Amino acid sequence: MKKNLEAERTDTSANAFFEASDFGPVAAVGEFSIAPAAGSDSPDAVLDRILEAIKWIFLYVPGVAGINMIAMGYVFILYSKNWSNEFLTVGAIVPIMICAFMIMLGIGKFTDLRYLRVVLSILMTSAAAALLLAILVAFTPGNYFGIYVLATLTVSLLLGYLTKKNIDQRPAMFDDQAGN
């Protein structure tokens, strides 16, 4: 009977993590330099990055700003004591849905429902900021609404982006069980 020996697998190396990154394979100590991967400056890649920036500027940011301003509008209505049924129904729900579509189109993941978490995180951040604004208005003199809205808009934008990055890093929930 012939004895079969399995050869060592050389397709994986100790530096597989670095070879899979955008910096390419790890160079020797004497020739070390950090350079982007080849082909990243192709015209198609540049146009894709420009299109992504345009989508973020004209869809994502206005969508987040709309949700943030709707949440801040509730604080104004609270202190003006002028509640209206129109604002509570059509006046807030429909614009929030439009802003949610803008956010989903802006991040480019319109068909993947996992990315509704981005919209929900932005909505929750804006609601918490509106609650904090209601507390600040009651206890502080002066009008700092503009500065506060810009600060909370920045936090909402950042939290939405971080939620998107977190979802991008996770695999889909049932992708590994699709073959069963």
Per-residue pLDDT at 180 exceeds 50: no
Q: Full-prediction pTM beyond 0.85?
A: no
User: For position 143, what pLDDT does the model report?
Assistant: 78
Predicted confidence (pLDDT) at residue 93 exceeds the cutoff of 70: yes
Kindly state the average pLDDT of the residues 22-30: 51
Q: Which of the 8 DSSP states describes residue 40?
A: T
Measured distance CA(172)–CA(139) in Å, rounded: 46
Q: For tokens 């206890």, what's the residue?
A: 139
Per-residue pLDDT, 119: 94
Among candidates 32, 115, 130, which has minimal Cα distance to 79?
130
Per cent of the chain over pLDDT 70 is 72
The token pair that represents 54 in the structure block: 């345009």
Integer CA distances (angstroms), 77 to 22, 84, 88, 97, in order: 50, 9, 10, 20
Query: Is residue 178 over pLDDT 70?
Result: no
Average per-residue pLDDT for the chain: 79
- Identify the burial level of 101 via C-beta atoms within 10 angstroms of its C-beta, where 0-12 means exposed, 13-18 middle and 19 or more buried: middle
- pLDDT for 5 equals 60
pLDDT digit string (tens) for 103-155? Answer: 999 998 888 888 899 999 999 999 999 999 888 888 888 777 888 888 899 99
Rounded CA-CA distance 36/22 in Å is 6
Token duo for residue 32: 């070390």
Q: What is the pLDDT of residues 33-87, one digit of tens each?
A: 555 555 567 778 888 889 999 999 999 999 999 999 999 888 878 777 777 777 7
Reduced to 3 states (helix: H, G, I; strand: E, B; else coil), residue 1 is coil
